[in-house]
Amino acid sequence: MSLSGTLMKPKEKTDSLDVIPTHVAIIMDGNGRWALSRGLPRMAGHRAGTENLRSIIQACIEFGIRYLTIYAFSTENWGRPPTEVQGLMKLFESVIDRELQELHDQGVQLRHIGRLDGLKPAFRQKVLQALEYTCDNDRLILNIAFNYGGRDEIVCTIQRIIEDGVKADEVTTDLVKRYLFTSGVPDPDLIIRTAGELRGSNFLIWQGAYSEWYFPPVYWPDFDKEQLRLALDEYSHRERRYGCLAGVKD
Ligand code: IPE
Ligand code: IPE
Ligand code: MG
């Protein structure tokens, strides 16, 4: 018996995207391999990745996605060679300079998840100004996970709960949610990881508890609007049960 033919019964396929996820999160992986496969330095891949991000943001707006979270730099990425880390920091700064006005004009609200305290003061200031500048926009909420780690987020959450003097029996799932970096943002419905690795790499480990995962076999700079459409199409045929039984009521 084949698993796909019997145990897993996807919803019947149609051409339309009848269920658009509210929140899509993306692990933008594979920039380095994209560059190496073209005989280019890894930084060329990171630059191509930022170019691609611009078109995926546009595509998300067109598809009617409300929240997009992107994994741009993890707490573990500090462990890369200093030249790559410095190159990435410079690139992110220049992306803010270059893209902020356009993002604002498109109605994108920028948010940051992660720790800003590990960044150089001038860079931190630039990020804070960008968040402030776009804070009234609501066409697309773009959460940028930068210097972000899921474990670090949980540690930070526990620290703040303790600092606020919350009693043990007042700690609930809802309370923890309110202390996370993503407070007020719905959990991701769909998490996409490009470039073929089948792991989460410390991304949204609390919020992703019931997310649907999708692993397109392309490097991030090659993940285009058509690839996103395929991901959304696949998502719209998934059956989300949250531990219950579909269609069974008392
Ligand atoms: C993802 O691409 C971008 C960052 C982690 C900043 P990678 O740099 O991880 O690319 P690969 O996985 O080495 O190809
Ligand atoms: C995850 O990719 C982090 C980002 C995309 C920012 P990595 O390339 O750092 O993850 P691993 O090392 O393959 O797990
Ligand atoms: Mg990688």
Per-residue model confidence as pLDDT tens digits over 44-66: 999 999 999 999 999 999 999 99
- 26, 27, 29: residue to mutate for ligand 1 pocket, most atoms within 8 A of CB: 29
Residue 34: nearest ligand to its CA?
1
Q: Are 176 and 160 in contact (CB under 8 A)?
A: no
Query: CATH second-level architecture of 23-149+187-236?
Result: 3-Layer(aba) Sandwich (3.40)
**Which residue has the least CA distance to atom 14 on ligand 2?**
201
What atom in ligand 2 is closest to the CA of residue 27? Answer: 5
pLDDT tens profile 150-201: 999 999 999 999 999 999 999 999 999 999 999 999 999 999 999 999 999 9
What atom in ligand 2 is closest to the CA of residue 220? Answer: 5
Q: CA-to-CA distance for 116 and 123, rounded, in angstroms?
A: 9
Residue whose pair of structure tokens reads 């007020």 in the numeric block? 184
Q: Which residues pair with 212 in a beta bridge?
A: 190
Supply the pTM of this predicted model.
Answer: 0.95
Helix (H) or strand (E) holding 233: helix 225-236
